[in-house]
């Protein structure tokens, strides 16, 4: 016997609610953000997020059960990746809705930047124009694997952990713009603070490679610059 209209509606929204339940955790959202930059093993994810391997694995299993992630096993290691490009869109929509509706989020951001009033970011349009004119040097301070998966054309890969030892590669005669994973990733903030302390003119861009791609702009892959 076929379901009634009401039973059908409940069954449909019950399935959709699986996605909401899966992302209803700050740690799982952080895991998805990192995985939006490229595949990772459980061990690498745990280290990046600051969780135990067992805890990270539990969160990943929940995301996989909701079909948001897929896995590939090589020997003893399991690599996780996003199951669909729409997961990136979901993260972006959640972020933008939170920015529009949650005053608490705005307060957290304002508090973090209270002592960083000179950290006004370069918007994506301005960065695109100035980079095209050769007025700025763009550095990508994400890990090298993320850079290789996709980066702004012409950007130099300078992971935050390598910044100090690679200062000689950076120009002092023009401004440096650092970018990372997006507005709530602080790697670019830390890079700009470190560069300014060493006499460089530096600013941050708070857009991600996904924002760049969504504008229809070309994305480079592989290489170091």
Our CA dihedral for 153, 158, 160, 163, rounded to 10 degrees, sits at: -150
Candidates 128, 180, 185, 205; catalytic one: 180
Nearest Cα to Cα of residue 34 among 140, 141, 142: 142
Buried b / exposed e along 13-45 (16+ C-beta atoms within 10 A)? eeeeeeeeebbeeeebbbbbbbbbbbbbbbebb
User: What's the CA gap between 19 and 27, in Å, rounded?
Assistant: 15
Q: Is 185 a catalytic site residue?
A: no
Which residue numbers are catalytic? 180
């Amino acid at each position: 016997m076929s379901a009634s209209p009401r039973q059908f509606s409940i069954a449909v929204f019950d399935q959709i609610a699986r996605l909401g339940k899966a992302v209803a955790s700050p740690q799982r959202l952080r895991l998805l953000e990192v995985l939006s930059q490229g595949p990772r093993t459980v061990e690498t994810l745990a280290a990046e997020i600051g969780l135990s391997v067992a805890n990270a694995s539990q969160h990943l299993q929940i995301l996989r059960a909701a079909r948001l992630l897929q896995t590939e096993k090589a020997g003893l290691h399991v690599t996780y990746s996003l199951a669909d490009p729409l997961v990136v869109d979901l993260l972006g929509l959640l972020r933008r809705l939170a920015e529009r509706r949650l005053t608490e989020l705005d307060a957290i951001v304002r508090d973090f930047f209270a002592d960083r009033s000179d950290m006004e970011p370069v918007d994506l349009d301005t960065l695109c124009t100035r980079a095209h004119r050769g007025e700025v040097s763009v550095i990508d301070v994400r890990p090298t694997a993320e850079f290789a998966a996709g980066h702004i054309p012409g950007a130099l890969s300078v992971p935050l952990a390598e910044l100090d030892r690679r200062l000689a590669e950076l120009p002092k005669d023009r401004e440096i713009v650092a970018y990372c994973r997006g507005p709530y990733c602080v790697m670019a903030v830390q890079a700009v603070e470190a560069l300014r302390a060493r006499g460089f003119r530096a600013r941050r861009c708070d857009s991600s490679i996904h924002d760049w791609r969504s504008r229809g702009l070309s994305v480079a892959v592989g290489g170091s610059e």
